[in-house]
Chains A and B, each alone.
Chain A
Amino acid sequence: MGQIKLENVVKSFGEFDVIRDVSLTINEGEYVVFVGPSGCGKSSLLRLITGLEDVSSGRVWIDGRDVTDVAPSERQLAMVFQSYALFPHLTVADNIGFGLRVSGRPKAEIREKVLTTARALALDPYLDRYPRQLSGGQRQRVAIGRAIVRAPTAFLFDEPLSNLDAALRVQMRLELIRLHDELKTTMIYVTHDQVEAMTMADRIVVLNAGKVEQFDTPIALYDAPANRFVAGFIGSPKMNFIEATAERGRRILTSAGAVEISNLKAPLSPGKVTFGIRPEHLGYDREAGLWKGTILVEEQLGSDAYFTVDVTALGTLTVRAVGERGYRRGDTIFLTPDPARSHLFAEDGRALTAPASNLSNSQQQSAAGSA
């Protein structure tokens, strides 16, 4: 139970296409995150799945059943809203049991299920309270309780944590991961926060301007972004991009000299390209390196330091230096990209590089951890 399939889904408001021909299959029990910049259509896509918005064309399937023309109330989905959307005139118990009551279940059963759910979410002391008497975190729990009590086909979360403070957000994130492990129900989670996406998802849908840019595991998005947009969107701080010209073979020419690319999918043909290198894959040194620059800004986090480096011919590049404390603003620094972890994108944004096969598993793990 819980397979969701979108087939050539389009949603237009008048002339404007919010969702442009999206096809994807979310497997049963999968935790999928829709991520993208604001206005990319991720919430719209979620609403199309719920039926709160009608598709302009295309089909929506849930568990092999075409639900395109089925009312939201018949789709057996549960949604947790960013604003919680609790019923203010009902107590916590009535909020959680709302769906059960609507479907006309016996009172005893409702009471029992509500109590079990409330216990699981540590809400049992608050069953008689009203939403206005709860804290933000508690309200969020009630909203989650209302979703899980009905045992729906899939859970949909629309930026559920963005109204919580940072500490609570991290805690709720862990609870949601635990909840998914326990329930094994399909979950679709919408967020603009790539850290939430990377940490929670089995697979991530990266959306941009109503189109799916890439649908893959977090590691794959990080290691092998399909295009320049995904490369720039996933990863923090952002990947550095350098405009360059491809020569034949493996060489590209930047305004600060030539670079050999070792992990190309195919030999280059001449033309404009973009060279991409993540801040954590730029080696740095005081004495020697490929590019010489000056540190403009030093952001010290303790665990990491981020340097914004001005390399005269290339513009500014960001370097992530793990545990580094020795550099100061104004220092001269030499940067060298890791050739095995470089990315190259064609003029249309398509990736020309593949993750180097010599990356060991442990290296991949650490890359994911640092994302």
Chain B
Amino acid sequence: MTSAKFRPRDVGPMVLVLAFVFVSIAPLLWMALAAFKPTADIIAIPPVWIPDFTYLQNFQDVLTQFWPFIVNSLIATVGATILALVLAVPTAFALVNHRFRGREALADWILSTRMMPPIAAAVPLFVIFRGAGLLDSLPGLIIAYAGFNLPFAVWMTMSFVRRVPKELIEAARLEGCTWWQVLTGVVLPLSKSGLAAVATFVFIFAWNEFMLALFLTTREAKTFPVVISSFIGTGRVYWEYIAAASVIQCLPPVLFTFFMQKHIVSGVTMGAVKD
């Protein structure tokens, strides 16, 4: 800040910005506060602005009744993240470092599958999964999530693999490395930060995914977002559970991103080749 001087003509934009921030943050704020209120306080008029933060009944109810679905969500998310990376990394490595007929077309085709709206795939996927016995199963969800994220994961990984200097790969090959050893010994350690970023994106997508889970699961493999939506019943809306569950739902991506951030360090490849 070079100048903190107040200028009258800044008032207009400032008010606009504040209004925008308020509109954006209000629902979240409402949700976070409502999570600590009993039902009566949530709908009370005049509103109870500041709840009693020691009131944890909503969280306790949600966790005790619905914890298996949180576990489902976790398994599906972590599974999908791992599967997507396991498939995307060798794919991206091959697409970047091997010259073969149709390489670009293949890369473009992978990207193009991303352009299909998930809803378009939902019905065919349902039919296929029913045939394969994957409906309402966590492996099914993991496959679906990893599949939907693969194009993105491949392309993002490609951009990181491409940053590994070509000479390093050539040097490794001349030193006697097989392609697999080049990947595990040179490319992976040097794209760690990039892979952390890819993992973060896949994790957040899978954790927050709602629509596919709604289509493909019924009881056993139901994920937490689907459970949250079920709190809006025909007879009654369980605002207090929605609020508490939403707070819970928000936590893992925040924690995961925070944890991954430490790994997303720049300058890992410094000193590899000339400055």
Cα distance A285–B176 in the bound complex, in angstroms = 62
B168 contacts which chain A residues (CB < 8 A)?
Answer: 85, 87
Judging by beta carbons under 8 Å apart, are A88 and B190 in contact? yes
A134 contacts which chain B residues (CB < 8 A)?
Answer: 271
Judging by beta carbons under 8 Å apart, are B274 and A131 in contact? no
A130 CB–B CB distance under 8 Å: yes
Judging by beta carbons under 8 Å apart, are A102 and B190 in contact? no
Judging by beta carbons under 8 Å apart, are B274 and A78 in contact? no
The residue of chain B having its C-beta at the shortest distance from the C-beta of A102 within the complex is B176
B270 contacts which chain A residues (CB < 8 A)?
Answer: 88, 132
User: Restricting to A68-85, which residues have a CB under 8 Å from any CB of B?
Assistant: 71-75, 77-79, 81-85
B272 contacts which chain A residues (CB < 8 A)?
Answer: 83-88, 131
A269 CB–B CB distance under 8 Å: no
A98 contacts which chain B residues (CB < 8 A)?
Answer: 172, 175
A99 CB–B CB distance under 8 Å: yes
B178 CB–A CB distance under 8 Å: yes
The residue of chain B having its C-beta at the shortest distance from the C-beta of A103 within the complex is B176
Judging by beta carbons under 8 Å apart, are A52 and B170 in contact? yes
Cα distance A310–B194 in the bound complex, in angstroms = 61
B181 CB–A CB distance under 8 Å: yes
Judging by beta carbons under 8 Å apart, are A73 and B176 in contact? yes
B271 contacts which chain A residues (CB < 8 A)?
Answer: 86, 88, 130-134, 139
User: Restricting to B109-166, which residues have a CB under 8 Å from any CB of A?
Assistant: 165
Judging by beta carbons under 8 Å apart, are B273 and A83 in contact? yes
User: Restricting to B171-213, which residues have a CB under 8 Å from any CB of A?
Assistant: 171-178, 181, 185-186, 189-190
User: Restricting to A33-75, which residues have a CB under 8 Å from any CB of B?
Assistant: 50, 52, 71-75
Judging by beta carbons under 8 Å apart, are A99 and B269 in contact? no
A25 CB–B CB distance under 8 Å: no
Judging by beta carbons under 8 Å apart, are B174 and A89 in contact? no
> Least Cβ distance of A141 to chain B in Å?
14
Place the interface of chain A in its size category.
Answer: 20 to 34
B167 CB–A CB distance under 8 Å: yes
Cα distance A98–B173 in the bound complex, in angstroms = 11
Cα distance A150–B228 in the bound complex, in angstroms = 62
The residue of chain A having its C-beta at the shortest distance from the C-beta of B170 within the complex is A52
B237 CB–A CB distance under 8 Å: no
Cα distance A127–B261 in the bound complex, in angstroms = 31
> Least Cβ distance of A84 to chain B in Å?
6
CB-contact partner of B170 in A85, A132, A163, under 8 A: A85
> Least Cβ distance of A103 to chain B in Å?
5
A137 CB–B CB distance under 8 Å: no
Judging by beta carbons under 8 Å apart, are B171 and A85 in contact? yes
Cα distance A71–B165 in the bound complex, in angstroms = 20
Cα distance A103–B272 in the bound complex, in angstroms = 22
Cα distance A72–B177 in the bound complex, in angstroms = 9
Cα distance A71–B98 in the bound complex, in angstroms = 13
B28 CB–A CB distance under 8 Å: no
Cα distance A136–B173 in the bound complex, in angstroms = 23
B178 contacts which chain A residues (CB < 8 A)?
Answer: 73
A320 CB–B CB distance under 8 Å: no
Show the binding face of A for B, using Cβ within 8 Å.
50, 52, 71-75, 77-79, 81-89, 98-99, 102-103, 130-134, 136, 139, 146, 150, 163
A-B contact pairs, 21 of them (CB 8 A): A72-B174, A73-B173, A79-B174, A81-B170, A81-B273, A83-B274, A84-B272, A84-B273, A84-B274, A86-B271, A86-B272, A86-B273, A87-B168, A87-B172, A89-B190, A102-B172, A136-B274, A146-B171, A146-B175, A150-B176, A163-B274
